[in-house]
Structure 1
Amino acid sequence: MDIALLANPTAGKGRRAGLLPEVVARLKAGGHAVDVVTATSRDGMVEQGKAAVLSGRAVVAMGGDGTVHLGLQAVAATGAPFGIVPAGTGNDFAVRLGLPGDTLRAAEAIAAGTTTRSVDLARVEGADGTTAWFGAVMAAGFDAFVNERANRMRWPRGPQRYNLAIVEELLALRSRSYTMRIDDEESVFDSVLVAIGNTESYGGGFRIVPGADPTDGLLDVVVAEPLGRATLMRLRPKVFKGTHVHDPRVRTFRARRIELAAEGVTAYADGERICPLPVTVECVPGALRLIV
């Protein structure tokens, strides 16, 4: 293959940036030509990925879920082969696809890969004209607000900023009124947490939509009714096991197409900001051609 390697040296807090030369070497050892692509902006990374697809190259993303997310914007529904070299903190999408979690082992698997398999992706369309793809989970409740607050903060740096954002959002916690249409059936409800998943986890292993299958042509939805601060925090540890869905205050749905609206809510997918609600989210079967 002729490979465009989208590399994010800051993924995983930069701990694996030094592995880039070895990743390139292992890909080349499989007989592939490798062109390393870096960019100073998210849009720049996506544009270079799209250029690689137009030139007939395969695209490999080296980084965390955010870097993979950018790669998906370039390859989704194009038929271009796509590989993942996980080098982030959580790597949820790669883990849930059953890919090697070790950076160098993943590069070796891609180098030796002679086949691809089809994987579903989710396509988001916003009322503001935004169009985006995601592979893992879209958050449109408490976790989305935490991301939005953390992105506005300039201090502290690192993971403490996210932890502080959680505390501040808990203090500001309130339910929102949502309107959701699933397969032509509309409901209106108040909630503090809404998530739509193509695969089951986000945030480094939070199995928010357990059982989500990226090959079944459907998306999974989890909705939690209005909860107090203490109740929400008691529920969150259960998410690692996926047992929160057995709580009577949590509802689950499965559908190919979801329309979701709420005032003052911004959707985040794969940890990346997408757009304000309302949005329409649709599963596109086989939209990703994954190198295995």
Structure 2
Amino acid sequence: MKICTLFNGRSGGAQAIGPQVQKLAERDGHCWIAIDQLSGDDELIEVVKAEAPDRVILVGGDGTISRSLSVLSSPSDLQFGIVPTGTGNDLARSLDIPLGNVEAAWNLATQGTAHAMDILETSIDQPKLLMNAVTAGIGGVVAEEIQSETKETYGALAYWFSALSVLSDPPTFRIRLKLDQDRVIEEEAYAFCVANGRCAGGGFVIAPNAQLDDGKIHVTVLPVLSTVELFESGINFVLTNEDAEQRIVAYDAREVEFEASPEIPCSLDGEKGTFAAMKFRIVPGARMVVGGPNAAFGGSAQT
């Protein structure tokens, strides 16, 4: 199997982890491409095409992984492994990739089994394709407030430091969700999440029953609550992955459309933006991605 490694030197943990991964790539005789030194997506496509690998190892954070998986769509049977070096590493968590053990993550990425993974297609141009999740409302505000120096100092804890400041006076939004053209949900909400994977915001399990190959979009809504209800629901959800008296509501769909008033801040696989409306649809089995033994896959695997 011919393997090519893509490395983003600008990801959160790149400086600490990059040299170790490069040594592993050199040890195993795999090519090494620093994608942060390329001019853009077109050059990335050409470089990988010239190498013609069977498997591409993505070394970076959620943004790097999402972008690379979006851009590298050909050939359809191209396989991807992941060595996470970011702040949140949310897709890596759903894929059961070891965090904090670079060699174990590398061994899984190069030797593990590839599965057909769904992706999310959006109604906007950038980003057009998403691998993990969109967090809107509180999640989007948190993403806006996290500064790069905070990420470097606190890592994944940066999400929670920022979340606490937002939750002291959470903004509210009027949202309208249309699911599969036949279900409509309208309510005042603090936040919602449109997810393919299970985690968002640096390890918060927002869609505990999601499978990366179930052909479904998982939508979680946090409606407006009293301060006591808000923290009770949040604590219960984090600790038990269960809804506190069904206050946090979850839905499944193949297509999702939202409208929000006022415009709602969003984090789309780490990319920030503010939107009044957007559409999503699930694209089943669109990428072949390596997962660990407890990865969120329910179907059959391919090697």
Partner of 2:198: 200
Mapping for residues 265-284 of structure 1, pairs under 5 Å: 265-274=264-273, 276-284=275-283
In structure 2, distance between residues paired with 1:117 and 1:70: 19
Kindly state the Cα deviation for residue 230 of structure 1 after the two structures are TM-superposed: 4.1
Residues 203-234 of structure 1: per-residue CA shift (max 9 Å, x gap)? 23211111111011111111122123443233
Kindly state the Cα deviation for residue 98 of structure 1 after the two structures are TM-superposed: 2.2
Kindly state the Cα deviation for residue 235 of structure 1 after the two structures are TM-superposed: 2.5
In structure 1, distance between residues paired with 2:102 and 2:11: 14
In structure 1, distance between residues paired with 2:150 and 2:7: 29
Partner of 2:139: 143
Q: Cα RMSD between the aligned structures?
A: 3.0
In structure 2, distance between residues paired with 1:59 and 1:277: 36
**SS of aligned partner of 1:39:** helix
In structure 2, distance between residues paired with 1:53 and 1:97: 23
Partner of 1:238: 236
Q: Would you say the 8 A contact 1:266–1:273 is kept in 2?
A: yes
The aligned amino acid for 2:265 is T
Partner of 2:207: 209
In structure 2, distance between residues paired with 1:60 and 1:45: 18
Match of 1:82 among 80, 94, 97: 80
- Which segment drifts farther, 156-165 or 57-66? 156-165
In structure 2, distance between residues paired with 1:125 and 1:257: 11
Match of 1:37 among 19, 34, 42: 34
Unaligned stretches of 5+ in structure 1?
A: none
Q: Would you say the 8 A contact 2:192–2:222 is kept in 1?
A: yes
Q: Would you say the 8 A contact 1:27–1:111 is kept in 2?
A: no
**SS of aligned partner of 2:207:** coil
Kindly state the Cα deviation for residue 180 of structure 1 after the two structures are TM-superposed: 0.9
Unaligned stretches of 5+ in structure 2?
A: 292-303
Q: Would you say the 8 A contact 2:136–2:265 is kept in 1?
A: yes
Partner of 1:250: 248
Match of 2:45 among 40, 50, 59: 50
If the length of structure 2 is used for normalisation, what is the TM-score?
0.80
- Which segment drifts farther, 173-182 or 268-277? 268-277
In structure 2, distance between residues paired with 1:272 and 1:138: 9
Residues 41-88 of structure 1: per-residue CA shift (max 9 Å, x gap)? 9xx564544334443344322122232222222225752322100223
In structure 1, distance between residues paired with 2:171 and 2:102: 40
| Change beyond 3 A, Cα 1:252–1:30 | same
Q: Would you say the 8 A contact 1:206–1:240 is kept in 2?
A: yes
Q: Would you say the 8 A contact 1:138–1:196 is kept in 2?
A: yes
Q: Would you say the 8 A contact 1:224–1:251 is kept in 2?
A: yes
The aligned amino acid for 1:37 is A
Residues 235-271 of structure 1: per-residue CA shift (max 9 Å, x gap)? 2233334534243222111111101111311321223
The aligned amino acid for 1:60 is I
The aligned amino acid for 1:183 is D
Counting aligned pairs with the same residue, the percent is 23
Partner of 1:174: 171
Q: Would you say the 8 A contact 2:11–2:61 is kept in 1?
A: no
Kindly state the Cα deviation for residue 30 of structure 1 after the two structures are TM-superposed: 3.6
| Change beyond 3 A, Cα 1:165–1:183 | same
Aligned length: 282
Q: Would you say the 8 A contact 1:194–1:223 is kept in 2?
A: yes
In structure 1, distance between residues paired with 2:208 and 2:222: 14
In structure 1, distance between residues paired with 2:81 and 2:89: 13
| Change beyond 3 A, Cα 1:2–1:163 | closer
Kindly state the Cα deviation for residue 157 of structure 1 after the two structures are TM-superposed: 7.8
Partner of 1:65: 62
Q: Would you say the 8 A contact 2:84–2:92 is kept in 1?
A: yes
Kindly state the Cα deviation for residue 145 of structure 1 after the two structures are TM-superposed: 1.6
| Change beyond 3 A, Cα 1:206–1:156 | closer
In structure 2, distance between residues paired with 1:45 and 1:109: 28
| Change beyond 3 A, Cα 1:184–1:259 | same
